[in-house]
Amino acid sequence: MLNNKEKYLSDINKRFSGKARELLIEQVELFYEYNNDIAKNKYGIGDEVKLSKGAFIHGIFGGLDNFDFTLENGFISTDFTSEPRTNKICNSVGMWNIKEDVLLRDYINLYSGFTVTYSIGRGPEAALKSELIPYHKFDAFTERLNNDDNVWTYWGDKTKEVSFIPSLVSDKRQIAFILNMDSDYAKKLSYNDVWNLDFGEDVLTPFLDYRYKDKFINSDRLNRNASTTDRESAIMFGLPISLVEGVFVGRKIENDKESLDYIKSKLPDCYICNLDGKVIVGN
């Protein structure tokens, strides 16, 4: 019987060719490479968590059952662990990419808000701009737009993060992992990102649905903004669980001591924090 590494390499050799195959094989080899130089921040109870530029956040669906699956397998694209699905970006794992140093509480506050797109000017010359509006700041922002003579129309959507990680506005997601990407090992893994502008069409084609490929290559990845979004990464194949330094949880799990104890028992070297960005179980 094939072990997981051999199974993934066999799958890659069957389904991919050229540079894409080469990158995926490299990623799998790195994924399974033992590395004892992975940087991890340490926190005590009550500390505020700081996210460094380049850190990743990944939320999961479901509860502790899916948590266990993630720990056992790592962050691997479902196109490798189950039947391939029809996603716009495939054969990769989505990560929220921290764009600048920020406190976790400020990050959560911002992405629990709204994405507003508005037009400046009228007619074919009008310019569109998108901005992220923090939690509970929507009224003040739209009042500003309404009083701006250059703004003619605007519309809004919830941020994508609300659908995928714990937030202040929804209890649908209760668990997200914080990955420390500071080490050289982590940077090698994160380089193989479908959004990386170093990669051309020859590399990207196997990672994009055919209906989305042209739009992605010629528009979306070149003109990223708060709406498209400009804060996503899609890591080819996946990332190992060893990069996790902490877990942040929604209100339901925060108030469930049994669940907190279980998470800690599975990740004894990691901290657990809440939607206030504060550590509730230290490491």
Task: Please report the sign of the dihedral spanned by the C-alpha atoms of residue 106, residue 188, residue 236, residue 223.
Answer: positive
Work out the pLDDT band at 138, boundaries 50, 70, 90. confident
| Rounded distance between C-alpha atoms, residue 98 and residue 233, angstroms | 10
| CB-count exposure of residue 72 (10 Å: 0-12, 13-18, 19+) | exposed
Q: How many CB atoms lie within 10 A of CB 138?
A: 14
- Residues 260 and 266 sit within 8 Å (Cβ to Cβ): no
Say whether pLDDT at 1 is over 90. Answer: no
Question: pLDDT tens-digit profile of 197-249?
Answer: 999 999 999 999 989 999 999 988 998 888 888 999 999 999 999 999 999 99
pLDDT beyond 70 at 40: yes
Q: How confident is the model at residue 263 (pLDDT cuts 50, 70, 90)?
A: very high
Phi-psi region of 277 (alpha: psi -120 to 50; beta: other; left: phi over 0): left
Residue by residue, DSSP assigns 212-232 as THHHIIIIITTS--TTTTSSE
Q: What is the pTM of this model?
A: 0.92
Question: Residue 13 above 90 pLDDT?
Answer: yes
Question: Over 50: is that where the pLDDT of 154 sits?
Answer: yes
Q: Is residue 55 pLDDT above 60, yes or no?
A: yes
Count CB atoms within 10 A of the CB of residue 109: 19
- Res 2 pLDDT > 60: no
List, for residues 84-99, the tens digit of each pLDDT value: 667 899 999 999 999 9
Angle in degrees, 0-180, between the axes of helices 18-31 and 184-191, rounded to the nearest 10? 150
Name 129's bridge partners.
Answer: 118
Tokens describing residue 150: 């250059």
* Cα–Cα separations (whole angstroms), residue 223 to 55, 133, 242: 22, 20, 33
Delimit the domains of the chain by residue range.
Answer: 4-102+162-281, 113-158
For residue 232, report the phi and psi dihedrals to the nearest 5 degrees: -105, 145
CA distance 48 to 253: 19
- Over residues 128-135, the mean pLDDT reads 90
Mean pLDDT lowest among 15-24, 36-45, 50-59, 268-277: 36-45
Residue identified by tokens 């507003």 is 116
245-261 per-position pLDDT tens digit:
999 999 999 999 999 99
